[in-house]
A and B are shown apart, each in its own frame.
Chain A
């Protein structure tokens, strides 16, 4: 194994103190980079800004063109949110709830399975280990969408379409998570430590839970984050598996509403629902990423192997 995972947990800024002192000395030369950064921020924030502004407008203002698309008009946000949550007997609540349910169960399931497998690959030499792990690496490269159509045929034959399992079960498979966990385990848990625990008479399960698992936490959080976000953002799989709108996650629900709004030119209120619905749906993950900063900033770098 020639892989080394950068085990950078949240990197202390201390290392940079020297560099930053220098930076402030050379303050004048730092104007251009900061201007570029301002440009990047404006670009990446533009859609959010539009979404926030549009969410506050009533339908007439949204379409009239009297107000700039990038600036506020008549403030109607509260009514719009009410419109969203009462649409079709609160269908949007269902979608939001479904997204949480699928992302959390799928994500937690994927994490548990990946941690176990990664640890198994790293710590035990069993027959078939090498070809099996080659298979894991190969399956990282299999595009998930190639599997959706045959999976639909299989699931409809076993009456699993239009049940939440059709999305949750496939989401629990995360070969890249297994790869990350294996590499991280090899790096973070020396064989000597496991051997020592065995000499002390600890059983294999006890060693896993008491010795290994606490050391694997940073990688575990990363795999959890990647799996949850992956399932939360998934579109193709639930789009194919569900025809019952009560089972839709937010992504499929809003996609369907938007198509409907485009066809149905008379019902302008649908556009408002799509816009406010999009705004509400991005809030949970953005809050999660802002509060979990110290985990993902170090954790996502696990993907970068040296």
Chain B
């Protein structure tokens, strides 16, 4: 490799010549461009087939209505007008928005706290803890929701027993009043470890000489964490925030699994995605379901785009 590098240096003038728009140069760059397209072609095909086409198709479906009597006909934006006046859809949207507002800060606090803690102590035990906190990531959301569903359930779970120790009545964790908090807990348990690992890795990437400098300046552990560590990993935090937001607005699996255990607490329109699923597969209203899917997709896309735009310098997510 070294020899070829030296060789390359010696021919640099020739390469400069090649880059000029000459006969030979344009031939080379055109050939290179073709190779570039060849490398990205398989991805382009999949992107068109499994992302752009369904997206466009969802939009087309959402502009139509289908009835047994009249067949398929165009209705313009009627389905959207219906969606944005449909209390079931609006309640679902309000739920996922509320869910994001409450869940994401809790999740960030748990994962950031755990990461800062693990970053500050080095022992066999902290290594073990890191693994244990991360393990839920390896569990499918379905299984995570199942396990917590059992723990919440009055007939399987330990809630009654634990409450008994303190002389309290068994809490109804699956009741309409408590299901929201119970779901927040499931999702926090599921994802905090993954976010913790990302934050932890970013913390480990910080040059430790900065800490020594801070120490000389008389900063204590808290100040170091708040003034140095957190600002230095802000790009990771922004990225996690965006992923958490995209994930939460699409909320489906956990409430869908808990539905059969908490009948009554989680309705068929609890989140927009559950609503779209019910409309499509229980009522065969594919057109209206597409409008809801598309509207939700648009909200998520615009929301995360705006968020990333305002934090662009931090997130580094740009080309």
A285-B138 contact given A50-B151, A69-B156, A147-B51, CB 8 Å threshold: yes
- Complex Cα distance A70/B289, Å? 42
A289-B316 contact given A150-B61, A301-B202, CB 8 Å threshold: no
- Asked if A116 contacts B122 (CB within 8 A), the reply is no
A298 at the B interface (CB under 8 A): yes
- Asked if B129 contacts A40 (CB within 8 A), the reply is yes
Using a CB-CB cutoff of 8 Å, which residues 215-233 of chain A contact chain B?
A: 229, 232-233
B33 at the A interface (CB under 8 A): yes
- Complex Cα distance A155/B32, Å? 36
- Asked if A235 contacts B142 (CB within 8 A), the reply is yes
Residue of A11, A193, A240, A304 most packed against chain B (CB within 10 A) = A304
- Asked if A46 contacts B151 (CB within 8 A), the reply is yes
- Complex Cα distance A286/B131, Å? 10
- Asked if B300 contacts A146 (CB within 8 A), the reply is yes
- Contact bitstring A263-281, B, C-beta under 8 A = 1, else 0: 1000000010011001001
A173-B129 contact given A16-B122, A195-B15, CB 8 Å threshold: no
A254-B260 contact given A20-B122, A36-B117, CB 8 Å threshold: no
Closest to B138 in A: A285
Question: Quick check: which of B52-60, B78-86, B97-105 contacts chain A, the rest being far away?
Answer: B52-60
- Asked if B43 contacts A116 (CB within 8 A), the reply is yes
A114 at the B interface (CB under 8 A): yes
- Asked if B4 contacts A197 (CB within 8 A), the reply is yes
- Complex Cα distance A6/B232, Å? 13
- Complex Cα distance A80/B217, Å? 62
- Asked if A289 contacts B201 (CB within 8 A), the reply is no
A141-B305 contact given A120-B36, A172-B46, CB 8 Å threshold: yes
A116-B201 contact given A137-B318, A258-B257, A282-B139, CB 8 Å threshold: no
- Complex Cα distance A212/B249, Å? 38
- Asked if B293 contacts A150 (CB within 8 A), the reply is yes
B-chain residues with CB within 8 Å of residue A74 when the two chains form the complex? none
- Asked if A304 contacts B239 (CB within 8 A), the reply is yes
By a beta-carbon cutoff of 8 Å, the part of chain B in contact with chain A is 1, 4-5, 7-8, 11, 15, 29, 32-40, 42-44, 46-47, 49-51, 53-55, 57-58, 61, 114, 117-118, 120-123, 125-126, 128-129, 131-144, 146-151, 155-158, 161, 189, 193-194, 197-199, 201-202, 204-205, 208, 233, 235-236, 239, 242, 246, 249-250, 252-253, 256-257, 260-261, 263, 273, 276-277, 280-281, 286, 289-290, 293-294, 296-297, 300-301, 304-305, 308, 315-319
A to B CB contacts below 8 Å, 5 in the list? A15-B208, A23-B122, A37-B125, A197-B4, A275-B150
